[in-house]
Structure formats: C-alpha cells, structure tokens
Amino acid sequence: MIDLAKVGLKDFTRSAKILIITNTIYAFVLPVIDIFVASYIMRNSNDPSKVILYQLAIYVGIPITFLINGYLLNKINIKRLFSLGMLLSGVSMVFMMSLKEINYFGLAGAGLIMGMSFGLYWANRDYLVLSTTQDRTRNFYYGLETFIYTIIASTVPFLIGWYLMKGHGNAESISNEAVNSGYRVITTIVFLITLLASIVFHLGTYEKPKSEKFIYFKFHKLWKKMIQLSVLKGLAQGFIVTAPAMLMMKFFHSEGALGTAISIGAIIAAVIMLILGKYSKPKHRLVIFSVGLISFFLASFFNGLLFNTTGVILFMFLLLMARPILDIAYFPIQLKVIDILSKLENRNEFSYILNHEFGLFVGRFIGASTFLIIAFFINADIALRYALLIIGSLQLLSIIIAKQLLRQQSTLEKELLEKELLNKEPIDEDTVITNPISVK
C-alpha cells in the first residue's frame, strides 16, 4: 500500500491560515504583474528587449530590497513590511501607466519599484511560511497555495483579456488608447486588492526574526548545493515570466487570445497540485521536482522545434504544469535545509533567505542576459526560440544536484539527532566552506 501523508487544513495554525487567505487575495494581482504588464509594454513599444530590460530592473531591485529588509526587520514590524511589499506592486503599475512614452528610463523606474515590491513580499513571505509551518505540512501548504493560485491564474487572464479586447467594443477595430484606458482601470483594481490583502494580513499574529547578524560569508557545505539549485532556478526566472506574453503577442496579436490560451489546461494543473500537496510526503519531493524539470524542458523543446501557434500552445500547457510542480517541491526542500542549518550553525533564518536570493539573482541575470545578447547580436525571434531551449536543457542539471542535496540533508539530520547537536552544540569550523555567492 502506498504511504501517503493525508495532511489537511486542521494541521495549520490560525496565523498560517490567515497567511493563506492573504496570499489568496494577493494572487489576483500576480497574473496581472506576470502577464499583462509585459503585454502592455509589447503593445506600446513592440520591442521584446524592452520587456527583458524591465524584467532585469525588477531582478536588480529584488536582492537590494532583500538586504534592506534585513535591517528594517530589526526596527519595523514584519506585518508592515510584508504589507508594503504588496502595496508597492500597485504603485509600480500606476507609475508604468503614467508614462507618456515607454522609454528605458521609465521602464527602469517601474521595474525597480516592482523589484522592491517583490523583495519585501518574498523575503518576508519565505520567513512567515518557515515560521508558521512544519516540514510535514509544507507539501500541502504549497500544494494548496498553488492550487488556489492556478485556479485564479486560469480565470483572471481570461477575464482581463476579454475586458481589454471586447469590453471596449469591437476587438477588430479597437484603438490602442482604448486598450490602454482598460489597463488603467485594471491598475486601479490591482491597487485596491493589495490594500484589502494588507488589511486581512494584519489579523494574524507573527513573530519577527531575532535581531541578530544576518550577513555571513561562510556557510555549511550543504548550503552550497542549495545555492547551485537557486542559480539554476534563477536561469529560468530570468525571462520565463515574460516569455509567454511575448510569444502570445507575437503569434496571436491579442490580449484576448493570451488570456484564453493561459486558461487552457490550468484547471487540470490546479487539481494535480492539490492532490500532490495533500498526499505526497517529503520523500516524494525529488520525483515531483524531476517531473517539473522535464515538463519545463519539453515546453522549451516544442517551442524551439515548432515556433508557431501550435508550439506556443504546447509550450503554455507544459509550462502551466511545470511551474507549480517545481514550486511544490523546491520551496519545501529550501525551507528544510534552512531549518537544519539555522539550528546547526545557530544563525538567523533570514541570513539563508537573503543568501538564497543572491543565488537566484545570479541565475536571473545570466538568463535575461542570454536572451538580450541573442536578441541584440542576432534577432529577437532567435532569442525567443532558442534561449528557452538552452535554459531548459541546463535546468535538467538540477535533478542531479537535488539528489545529492537530499542525500546529504538526510545524512546530516540523522547525525545531528544521534549526537543531540541540533539544539545544543555549535558547528565545528572545519565543516564550513566559503560560499561563492555571498553578500558583500
């Protein structure tokens, strides 16, 4: 008989449930940020490189804000910082819509503000999940959260696409200004949603990290594997958020088609995530992670092979499957490593969250730069077609690294339990190495 976890909502604390509700409300904003901001830039500039430059500005803002957040946590309540992160996403969109021309300076400004939003949101969200959940419940936590997000992500793009193209009259003859006016209405709604999410979040009770040192240059050898995974994860994040919108606008030329295509298959993915989260155990994470990586590779393979409307549909369907499957395995693996090492090395959990973000940044920078180099020195179509395939192939290395990491993690955990070092004895200096990606 298969050994299943069968974890449910009853296993979560009240604060964890409020965090889930907060993220559910904010999930209505994320598809707008992920998809339609890129579509707005493409519609008003028809330049894929501007979309990637905007994305690069976001990725520059994220690690800087992670670092600033570490200092702010010593003085400001985590509730306020987390709420500010959500609110800034609305501010960034307002700034974007106020631009008279989509130029590089304006995009950099909007991107940096959005990067600050993501930095405050994700830095504090990672810690909040870490502090309100246990390892045995994290598969279900991320499965439930991904299920909710996928359902929302399958309906919001469709509704927004319909509103932008048909809610303003005939989609064939609609003017660019009419669509931009629709974007401004959506931006207002986004800001109101972030405000509501912030209010709900304040109903929970959360402890902030201890006021301790959080910048370190040396980490345990297990963390080196985690950083390698983060760099590879960042490679895909470099432009995978905006690539779907660029491909859809190239081959379908319509936000309506964009929204409809993204909705196809999303419900199936959502149900799979809920089942995986509820019944999978920590020992199943490597298999789940591998399936996600292979799905991502196949998505990039079919896009590169076909590079037409059929290829884009296959790409979107497989990507809808790959992203949540990867998240449901990756985040619990990351938090488990932090659980062990923060006690082993007697350090603030946020120090690992911060260092991990710099690993992601290196990967994102390489991923986005790969696209830009191909786009500028060859052309944007070649970049859209083959940069994804290059990164999808490199991502497969994560399977080998994750297998090694989980083996080392299991061995270390057993040794710590046997020697009762998990809560009592500090780490020996001979077991640490210099981390190649450290805060300077």
Position 119, amino acid: G
Higher pLDDT, 130 or 164: 130
Higher pLDDT, 257 or 225: 225
> Distance between CA atoms of 431 and 416, rounded to whole angstroms?
13
Question: Please, which residues have CB within 8 angstroms of residue 270's CB and are 6 or more apart in sequence?
Answer: 146, 147, 148, 150, 151, 154, 324
- Buried-exposed string 249-272: b where 16+ CB fall within 10 A, e elsewhere: bbbbebbbbbbbbbbebbeebbeb
| 117-121, 171-175, 198-202: the lowest-pLDDT one | 171-175
Higher pLDDT, 297 or 431: 297
Which string of DSSP letters, residue by residue, matches 27-92? Answer: TTTHHIIIIIHHHHHHHHH--HHHHHHHHHHHHHHHHHHHHHHHHHTTTS-HHHHHHHHHHHHHHH
Higher pLDDT, 31 or 118: 118
Question: Please, which residues have CB within 8 angstroms of residue 88's CB and are 6 or more apart in sequence?
Answer: 113, 114, 116, 117, 120
pLDDT tens for residues 262-302? 666 677 777 777 887 778 888 889 999 999 999 999 999 99
Q: Mean per-residue pLDDT for 434-439?
A: 39
CB-CB contact of 312 with 178 (8 Å): no
pLDDT tens for residues 347-403? 888 889 889 988 998 998 888 888 878 878 888 788 888 888 998 999 999 999 999
- Structure tokens of 120? 């405050």
CB-CB contact of 130 with 339 (8 Å): yes
pLDDT score at 170:
52
What pLDDT band is residue 432 in, cutting at 50, 70 and 90?
very low
Residue 23 has pLDDT above 90, yes or no: yes
pLDDT tens for residues 234-260? 988 866 766 776 777 677 765 555 555
Q: Mean per-residue pLDDT for 18-36?
A: 88
pLDDT score at 254:
58
What pLDDT band is residue 440 in, cutting at 50, 70 and 90?
very low
Residue 209 has pLDDT above 60, yes or no: yes
Residue 435 has pLDDT above 90, yes or no: no
Q: Mean per-residue pLDDT for 39-46?
A: 79
CB-CB contact of 389 with 303 (8 Å): yes
> Distance between CA atoms of 255 and 157, rounded to whole angstroms?
8
The class (CATH top level) of 12-434 is mainly alpha
Higher pLDDT, 84 or 366: 84
Element (H, E) at 223: helix 221-240
pLDDT score at 267:
74
CB-CB contact of 200 with 379 (8 Å): no
Higher pLDDT, 229 or 55: 229
Higher pLDDT, 300 or 317: 300
The percentage of residues in the chain with a pLDDT greater than 90, rounded to a whole number, is 27
Instruction: Kindly give the pairing relationship between strand 432-434 and strand 218-220.
Output: antiparallel
Question: Please, which residues have CB within 8 angstroms of residue 7's CB and are 6 or more apart in sequence?
Answer: 136, 137, 139, 140, 277, 278
pTM listed for this prediction: 0.74
pLDDT score at 227:
95
Boundaries of every domain in the chain: 12-434
pLDDT score at 167:
53
Q: How many Cβ atoms from other residues are within 10 Å of residue 116's Cβ? A: 23
Q: Mean per-residue pLDDT for 134-163?
A: 83
What average pLDDT does the chain have? Answer: 82
First to last CA, the chain: 51
- Structure tokens of 350? 């946020």
What pLDDT band is residue 407 in, cutting at 50, 70 and 90?
very high
Q: Mean per-residue pLDDT for 65-84?
A: 89
pLDDT score at 349:
84
Q: How many Cβ atoms from other residues are within 10 Å of residue 11's Cβ? A: 15
Q: How many Cβ atoms from other residues are within 10 Å of residue 385's Cβ? A: 19
pLDDT score at 214:
72
Which residue, among 349, 329, 356, 367, has the nearest Cα to 242 in the 3D structure?
367
